[in-house]
Structure 1
Amino acid sequence: MIRRLSASIAHHPLARPFAIARGTREAIDLVHVTIEQDGHVGRGEGAPNGRYGEFAPDIVEQIAALAPLIEGGIDRTALLGAVPPGAARNAIDSALWDLEAKRSGVPVSAHFGAFPLALRTAVTVGIDRPEAMAARAAAIAAEHGAGDGNEGGSKGNGPLLKIKLDAHEVAERVSAIRAAVPHAVLIADANESWNMALLERVLPALAQARLELLEQPLPAGADDALEDFDSPVPLSADESAHVAADVARLRSRYAYVTIKLDKSGGLTGALALADAARRAGMGVMTGCMLCSSLSVAAAWPLAAMSRFVDLDGPLWLARDLPGGFTVQDGVLTASGTFGWGQP
């Protein structure tokens, strides 16, 4: 068994600036991994995130240092114990899933029973003035609308919109968006930018606006303040939730976990986190970093079993990978030519 590992950086300008509480981005660097064995090539992608001290050149170096392990034949299960969670492990894990499918002739989807070909995804509204966010939400709703009810993933009538928030004009932004899209399903993400006083102050307005989920209002190191807190809007742990072992301390603080493959170190670790969350009575949301369709393909099995799905990362790229996913009427659909996880 001879394997060959390679890693490279792909620079992607964004179609429009992406503004969240931590700042605004206009381009991203992704790390692409290939693992070749017996004439078959598995592909994976990692999306480094500065929030976790990850940058593309460092991830490539980390992957290169792991070449003896990967080329020596390590499997996905052993990888969990050998490499910490993060973008590097995600890229490798994803490539191994793809390689297994191509070598065995069995698609990844066969491991998960019923497998939807389309998923309803959230589309993100970036931070801006309340009126600008409302206008953007209305434009998204007009463009994407809602699915026909036959797709998997997030449920509900009307488009699914994710509102990015910081600590300013919280109620004003959400209320303006609700007025602009009265039938939309709204979720929001504060990206750790609030304190407990602000959370308690704005929750009544968020509940009034029928917000269905709020991600990570407090910094990950401060979420002990949520212990047994009775929130009128379900809270989801994002930056606080990485691996299955995190569930024990999160279950009495959050109703959901937001799982991203780049945090959990790949689909293998993400599935373990989802299983632990469900056994603890928590719901699951599948999210992603800014990424290409290669990352979305690897997250698809997890998204198919999630209450909320936010896989609009490729929509932010000026140019996605050829044959990637498309969104129409709020539904994410594979083009049929992309090929990840297929023999």
Structure 2
Amino acid sequence: MALTISVYHESFTLAEVFRISRGEKTAAEVIRVTVSDGHFTGQGESVPYGRYGESIESVTAELESVKGKLRYVEDHALLPDLLKAGSARNALDCAFWDLRAKISGKSVAELTELTLPEMCVTAQTISVDSVENMQASARKLAGAPVIKVKLDPEAVVEKIAAIHQVTPNSQLIVDANEGWSVDVLKAVADQLKACNVVLIEQPLPAAEDAALEGYECPIPLCADESCHTADNLETLRKRYQSVNIKLDKTGGLSEAIDLLQRARELGFTVMVGCMVGTSLAMAPAYLLCEGAEFVDLDGPLLIADDRPNGFSFSAGKMWQPSPFLWGVK
């Protein structure tokens, strides 16, 4: 029987306003895709991202355009030829993996030969705000093993020092979301290292990160907006020591597996990251966590009400409960 592909726009209110250097949001606007063979149905989720020229409308149009070209489960292999790397391909790729698990009676972990973690430590995120508000947010997370801090160029050291003061044992990851200059980075790096910052994500705009070549930062630098697929890893080696793998950038789990393998071969450390989405978006990425030094899959914690049968979280740790919403037999 030919496949039926359905596309849905869904909105999830956030628990509180989420701010990064580029702006703020109060809801997670996601695309959910289902693929059915008439007996079994697989599902996947993605987050269209304006930074990459995506919108709910454009991603929906991409998905609608390929429906007639994907008639059978085996057509999963055609996705890289039909859709560019991005959130449209991500939702569809992950829906196909979920469907294949249900048809085969094997989990996606078994089908991909990936190790399903029993549990992993995930960073918990503090969004851009005043020094006082960011310290108050950090105080609520006191004891968390890893905290990710979104920062614009303003009061960088003051904010990190205030957070470190109330979470002295937490490792801190700073995410500038392309909002700094190389001069800002060089001015704050030593002081951030003294506050237990262990990683700085995407300090410069992707188009300007050639300025990082030759700079020996005291804190490892992680490529996020500069790293989508494995295609430009050789160039990134001159600028970064780590890469952030997000399925909405790679175009799904299939390409993410290739990116993880190639990044490890080239000596990068790896972060598995996410956009702000539900447990359905985190589930495929969770399979990559055994191969990563850092995990940032706290998207469901930012949402007021996650999907049913999603991840469980406690004290900075996450695990897949049973029953679970994706990728299982």
Q: TM-score, normalised by structure 2?
A: 0.96
| Distance (whole Å) between structure 2 residues aligned to residue 326 and residue 129 of structure 1 | 30
Q: Which residue of 2 aligns with 1:139?
A: 140
- 8 Å Cα contact 1:59-1:87 kept in structure 2: yes
Q: Percent identity?
A: 41
Alignment of 1:310 with 2:311, yes or no, is no
Please show how residues 1-343 of structure 1 align to structure 2 within 5 Å.
Answer: 1-73=1-73, 75-110=75-110, 111-112=112-113, 114-141=115-142, 145-146=143-144, 159-343=145-329
Which ranges of structure 1 fall in alignment gaps of 5 or more residues? 147-158
Q: Which string of whole-angstrom CA distances, capped at 9 and with x for unpartnered residues, describes residues 197-246 of structure 1?
A: 11111111111112100000000000011113211000000000001102
Matched position secondary structure for 1:115: coil
Distance in 2 separating the partners of 1:33 and 1:23: 27
Query: Which amino acid is the alignment partner of residue 47 of structure 1?
Result: V
2:19 is paired with a residue of what secondary structure? strand
- Is 1:88–1:265's contact at 8 Å kept on the other side of the alignment? yes
Offset at 1:330? Answer: 0.9
Q: Name the CA distance, whole Å, in 2 between partners of 1:228 and 1:280.
A: 18
Secondary structure, aligned partner of 2:161: helix
d(CA) in 1 for partners of 2:108, 2:152: 38
- Name which of structure 1's ranges 103-112 and 160-169 shifts more when overlaid on structure 2: 103-112
- How many Å apart are 1:114 and its aligned residue? 3.8
Once superposed, what is the RMSD of the aligned Cα atoms? 1.3
How far did residue 115 of structure 1 move? Answer: 2.4
Using the alignment, how far apart are the partners of 2:87 and 2:115 within structure 1?
28
| Residue-pair matches, total | 328
Q: What is the alpha-carbon distance in structure 1 between the residues aligned to residue 116 and residue 32 of structure 2?
A: 26
Structure 2 segments unaligned to the other structure (5+ residues): none
Q: Which amino acid aligns with 1:239?
A: E
Please give the alpha-carbon distance, in whole angstroms, between the structure 2 residues aligned to 1:114 and 1:270. 15
**AA aligned opposite 2:262:** A
CA distance in structure 2 between the aligned counterparts of 1:58 and 1:315, rounded to whole angstroms:
27
Paired with 2:310 and 2:72, the residues of 1 have a C-alpha distance of 31
Q: CA deviation at 1:73?
A: 4.7
- TM-score computed with the length of structure 1 as normaliser: 0.93
Task: Indicate if the aligned counterparts of 1:17 and 1:26 stay in contact, CA closer than 8 A.
Answer: yes
Q: 1:152 aligns to what?
A: none
Q: Deviation string for 1:265-302 (max 9, x for gaps)? A: 00111111111111111111000000000011111111
Query: 1:177: how far off?
Result: 0.7
Contact 1:288–1:296 (8 Å) recurs in 2: yes
Where 2:153 maps in the other structure, the secondary structure is coil
SS at match of 2:322: coil
One-letter identity of the residue aligned with 2:43 = R
C-alpha separation in 2, matches of 1:182 and 1:168: 22
